[in-house]
Amino acid sequence: MPQYTNLSQGTPFWVDLSSPDIEASMSFYANLFGWSYEEAPPEDVGGRRYAWAQISPGYPAGIASLDNEAIASGAEPQWSVQLLVDDMDEIVNRIADFRGSIVQAPAKVGEYGIGAQIADPTGGRVNIWQAFQSGPTIKHEHGSMQWCELMTPDPETAAAFYRMLLRVKTDPMEMPDGSVNSIVSTKDGPVMGISALGGLSEELLACFGGPTWIVYFNVDDVDAAVERAVQNGAELPDPPWDVPGVGRIAWIFDPLGALLGLITPPSS
C-alpha cells in the first residue's frame, strides 16, 4: 500500500484510473511506463478490483475497476486526482459557502483514509482525501505524476474556489487570449495548475466535454512514449509540443478512452 509524506492541504498526492477493463489497462500502462502491480484486498475497496502501480522506488498511481452498474450509468474511463485535506468534516461543512457541492459523500476506505468527491462552481469534479497514514511515494520520476491541471472555461472562478476552500495560494497568469490561468501553491511550493479551455487547437478542444482534470506523467522521452502508446492502441489527438521552461508535452487517449498527459521536463 502506498503511504504519503507529510504533505500540505491542497496537494495532489495520488491519482488513479477508473477502467471498465482493468486487465487491459494494467497491460497498457505496464508497457508504457514499466509498472508492476500490487492488488488491494477487495474487502478494503468495496469489493471491486484495485491495483497499486509500482515502479522503483515507489507507488505512482492506482487502477480501479468500474463495475457493471457504473458502466451502465454512463461512467467513462478517466484519470482522477485526489487532493489532500486536513479535516474532511471541515471541508464538507464549508464547501457550500464557496458555491461548490458534494458529489460523493465522505466514506472511510479501510485503514487508509476518508475520501469524497466534490464539484467546483465551474463543474470540475475532483476527489479529496484525508489520509490516515504517512510515508514515501513517488513523483517527478519516469512513470509517475509530474503535474496535474484543471482545464475549465472559467479558470478565475475555479481558482477562487480552491483558494478559499483549501486555503492555498493562487498566482494568476494572463494569457495571450485574455484568459487568466493560475498556478496553485501550498507552503511547499507550486502543486497544480488551473487553465482555460480556450486557446487550444480544434483537435484538442474536441477532447473535452466540459471541465476536466489532466494528469501529466513524467516520461524520459515524450516522442518515444507516444510512439509506444500508439503502437499499443492509444490515440494521439495532436502532435507533441514544446512549452518553454516546462518541457515537451503530449496528450493521449489510452486504448479504453482515458485522457492523460505525458511530459519530459527540461534536462536542467
Q: What is the pTM of this model?
A: 0.92
- What is the percent of the chain with per-residue pLDDT over 90, rounded to a whole number? 71
Band (247; pLDDT cuts 50, 70, 90): very high
Strand, coil or helix: 12: strand
Q: Which of 69-73, 113-117, 145-149 has the lowest mean pLDDT?
A: 69-73
DSSP conformation class of 63: E
Band (87; pLDDT cuts 50, 70, 90): very high
Average pLDDT (88-114) is 94
> Smallest Cα–Cα separation from 121: which of 155, 73, 83?
155
Residue 130 in contact with residue 108, Cβ under 8 Å? no
DSSP conformation class of 223: H
For each of the domains in the chain, give its residue range(s) and CATH number, in order of start.
12-131 (3.10.180.10), 145-264 (3.10.180.10)
> Over 80: is that where the pLDDT of 246 sits?
yes
Band (47; pLDDT cuts 50, 70, 90): confident
Average pLDDT (168-191) is 88
Measure the CA dihedral 173/157/77/143, to 10°. 30
Band (39; pLDDT cuts 50, 70, 90): very high
| Amino acid identity at 178 | G
What pLDDT does 3 receive? 54
